[in-house]
Structure 1
Amino acid sequence: MKKILFLMLYYFVGRHLPSSQSPYSFGAKKLRYFLCKGLFKETGKNVNIEHGAFFGKGSDITIGDNSGLGIDCRVSGPLKIGKNVMMGPEVMIYTSNHRIDDLDKPIIMQGETPKELVEIEDDVWIGARAIILPGIKIGKGAVVAAGAIVTKDVPKFAVVGGNPAKIIKFRK
């Protein structure tokens, strides 16, 4: 019952409060943090859930200290976000997809693939409007460029960008 109340408060009130960067936020960041602490599987310290973030029920999301979900992002679980992870606006993280294997059935009738864990390790920066597909692991210290579509695992300290995302360089 408590979870349902927290979900309703988040989606009807907290999600619509101003961004934490707004001079008119009046404690919006603290309220969203409080609500998500009651919804997420694990929530670290100083977590920032921004205005408009959508995460379904949130029950299979883990987020570490000093990390956040960006403005108007859309994520689903199972999702594990490490410590000190920055996420730009409108990032999308998917953990399942549509089935397309039965040619005798319309795609809309085939359902979804099983959910796959997306794991984002510590000290990662995900740029605005990046898309991360199911089952991806983003290594420690990596940078995902704005607008990148991540279809393969990203190694530690790699900078990736493009569609599909490719390694541009490694941080030194």
Structure 2
Amino acid sequence: MLERLFFLFHRVGRVARARMWRIAGQPAFARRGRASKIFGWRAIRVGKRATIGDACWIQAVERYGGQSFRPSISIGDDVHLSDAVHISAVSSIEIGNGCLLGSRIYIGDHAHGDSADGAHRAMSPARRPLARVEPIRIGDDCWICDGAVILAGTRLAPGCIVAANAVVRLTADAACVIAGNPATIVKRL
């Protein structure tokens, strides 16, 4: 009996928190984990039944240093983010419906400085202007395993699987398995 009562209070609390976030104008996840942070919520759209784990960090960055941006983050329906997922956008990040993201994943559409030109090497990374700004598109029903890093310009077709600890900056036009550092397509599905 006590267990059922606890479960009821827990469920009511979850629903109340989701409604509170919706009233406040912030993106409402069906379940939002502890210690998760959302910044720039006006530029973030969250679909139905999307959940977020503990210690996640989602940020739509409008200003950095002297730079201004118009970020957009779109998280589709039935998307599940595990613990410690970091999503950072200055341009556009789209995550399609039905995606599953493991723990300790980073998805970012920019980099701190461009080391290719050498001009910013003397600066600390935090002071460098953001560079390599390119949108990211993750198609429906993709599975991104633990520890993966999705870099600017990545485009994944629906049904792609990204292996654990892969570092991805590529375009996958059809469902496939992606693995490695740097990541490559290792199998077509």
TM-score bracket for this pair, using the shorter chain length: 0.7 to 0.9
Aligned pairs for 1:144-163 within 5 A = 144-163=162-181
TM-score, normalising length: structure 1: 0.74
TM-score, normalising length: structure 2: 0.68
| Alpha-carbon distance change, 126 to 104 in structure 1, aligned in 2, over 3 angstroms | closer
2:152 matches 1:134 = yes
Please state how far the C-alpha of 1:119 moved relative to its aligned partner: 0.8
Instruction: Tell me if structure 2 keeps the 8 A contact 1:102–1:110.
Output: no
Q: Distance in 1 between matches of 2:146 and 2:28?
A: 24
Q: Distance in 2 between matches of 1:141 and 1:116?
A: 22
Instruction: Tell me if structure 1 keeps the 8 A contact 2:132–2:152.
Output: no
Q: Secondary structure at the match of 1:76?
A: strand
Could you tell me which runs of 5 or more consecutive residues in structure 1 were left unpaired when the two chains were aligned. 1-22
Counterpart in the other structure of 1:71: 83
Q: Please point out which of 95, 101, 110 is paired with 2:109.
A: 95
Q: Please point out which of 42, 56, 59 is paired with 2:59.
A: 56
Q: Distance in 1 between matches of 2:176 and 2:140?
A: 13
CA-atom RMSD, angstroms?
A: 2.7
Please state how far the C-alpha of 1:96 moved relative to its aligned partner: 0.8
Letter of the structure 2 residue corresponding to residue 37 of structure 1: A
Runs of 4+ residues deviating >3 angstroms: 26-35, 102-105
2:135 matches 1:117 = yes
Superposed CA deviations along residues 121-167 of structure 1, whole A, max 9, x for unmatched, are 10100000000111111111100001111021223211011111111
In terms of fraction of residues, the more strand-rich structure is 2
User: Sequence identity of aligned pairs in percent?
Assistant: 26
Q: Please point out which of 118, 122, 125 is paired with 1:106.
A: 122
| Alpha-carbon distance change, 168 to 46 in structure 1, aligned in 2, over 3 angstroms | same
Letter of the structure 2 residue corresponding to residue 76 of structure 1: S
Larger radius of gyration: 2
Deviates more, 1:26-35 or 1:93-102: 26-35
Aligned length: 148
Letter of the structure 1 residue corresponding to residue 56 of structure 2: A
Q: Secondary structure at the match of 1:62?
A: strand
Please state how far the C-alpha of 1:117 moved relative to its aligned partner: 1.1
Please state how far the C-alpha of 1:49 moved relative to its aligned partner: 1.3
Q: Distance in 1 between matches of 2:130 and 2:146?
A: 26
Aligned pairs for 1:24-39 within 5 A = 26-27=10-11, 31=17, 34=22, 35-37=26-28, 39=41
Instruction: Tell me if structure 1 keeps the 8 A contact 2:139–2:157.
Output: yes
Could you tell me which runs of 5 or more consecutive residues in structure 2 were left unpaired when the two chains were aligned. 1-6, 30-40, 62-70
Please state how far the C-alpha of 1:104 moved relative to its aligned partner: 7.4
Counterpart in the other structure of 1:85: 99
